[in-house]
């Protein structure tokens, strides 16, 4: 059960920006056309500038560069546009998460890598991945940012508990703090009004027994595992988390080689992203 101080904190979170809410409502709707989506993006100047830049970045660039917002919208699609808007929004409460041994940068890069991994896996899976996967992957650990705001715990107490009781990091969170970051993340997503498959994937991304309950959940579990395998945002939990790597992979129709190719592709996109963020490094 989520303690009251966290529930109060979630209740008082800033609402989603209007652009994010409108894009979220458009996700999965078949009656939405490009002009509707372009209109939403166009009226948000900061977002409009960003979508053109992302549409020309290594992960999304096509044969020709795009210059107009409308062309960028066509290239990126609603879900990616939403991840751009959400990426900016969650930076408002960016911070380090010492309880998980994660720096501000680790958390951000881990979310970005998980979200890009969805795009890379989509090219390798047997069937299509729903558009909501990239949003769920981006936000899967959002609960950690809330946990560190309201819970006082030391990473060493969590790690000692793991060692003493031979339990995984997520169980240790629940035992020491009464809840874990996944269920808190689910409550945040619910508060923000995301579609059920996103909320549920965030809430259950460490719940192996729920694997098989949807493509989005399996894709998020694998994307999280992949980001960790690339050494991005390993944190104190590292691989001491519940994961059904083979089960999730099989349900998505993703071979071991396909998973590895997707990891390699994501690592290349992440390297480009780092270069863009820090061109002199």
Residues that bind Fe ion (CB under 5 A): 141
Identity of the residue, 40 or 151, whose beta carbon is nearer to Fe ion in the bound complex: 151
CA distance 202 to 194: 11
Identity of the residue, 141 or 218, whose beta carbon is nearer to Fe ion in the bound complex: 141
Radius of gyration of the chain, Cα coordinates, nearest whole angstrom: 18
Smallest distance from Fe ion to CB 76, Å: 26
Smallest distance from Fe ion to CB 129, Å: 19
Identity of the residue, 141 or 183, whose beta carbon is nearer to Fe ion in the bound complex: 141
Smallest distance from Fe ion to CB 180, Å: 8
Identity of the residue, 69 or 102, whose beta carbon is nearer to Fe ion in the bound complex: 102
Judge residue 92's burial from the number of C-beta atoms within 10 Å of its C-beta, 0-12 exposed, 13-18 middle, 19 or more buried: exposed
Identity of the residue, 141 or 244, whose beta carbon is nearer to Fe ion in the bound complex: 141
Judge residue 131's burial from the number of C-beta atoms within 10 Å of its C-beta, 0-12 exposed, 13-18 middle, 19 or more buried: middle
Smallest distance from Fe ion to CB 217, Å: 13
Taking CA atoms, 10 is separated from 97, 126, 185, 187, 190, in Å, by 17, 38, 10, 8, 10
Total Cβ atoms within 10 A of residue 217: 24
Smallest distance from Fe ion to CB 186, Å: 11
């Amino acid at each position: 059960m989520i303690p009251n101080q966290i529930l109060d904190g979630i209740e008082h979170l800033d609402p989603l920006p209007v652009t994010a809410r409108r894009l979220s409502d458009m996700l999965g709707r078949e009656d939405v056309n490009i002009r509707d989506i372009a209109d939403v993006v166009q009226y948000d100047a900061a977002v409009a500038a960003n979508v053109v830049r992302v549409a020309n970045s290594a992960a999304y660039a096509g044969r020709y560069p795009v210059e107009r917002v409308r062309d960028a919208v066509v290239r990126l699609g609603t879900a990616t546009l939403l991840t751009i808007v959400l990426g900016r929004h969650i930076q408002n409460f960016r911070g380090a998460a010492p309880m998980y041994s994660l720096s501000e940068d680790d958390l951000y890069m881990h979310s970005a890598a998980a979200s890009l991994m969805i795009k890379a896996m989509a090219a390798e899976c047997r069937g299509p991945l729903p558009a909501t996967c990239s949003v769920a992957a981006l936000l899967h650990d959002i609960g950690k940012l809330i946990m560190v705001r309201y819970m006082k715990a030391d990473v060493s107490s969590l790690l000692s508990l793991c060692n003493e009781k031979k339990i995984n990091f997520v169980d240790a969170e629940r035992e020491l703090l009464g809840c874990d970051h996944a269920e808190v993340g689910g409550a945040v997503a619910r508060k923000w009004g995301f579609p059920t498959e996103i909320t549920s994937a965030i809430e259950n991304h460490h719940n192996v027994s729920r694997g098989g309950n949807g493509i989005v959940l399996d894709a998020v579990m694998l994307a999280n595992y992949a980001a960790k395998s690339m050494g991005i945002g390993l944190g104190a939990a590292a691989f001491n988390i519940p994961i059904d790597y083979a089960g999730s992979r099989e349900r998505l129709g993703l071979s071991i080689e396909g998973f590895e190719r997707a990891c390699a592709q994501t690592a290349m996109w992440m390297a480009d992203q780092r270069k863009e963020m820090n061109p002199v490094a």
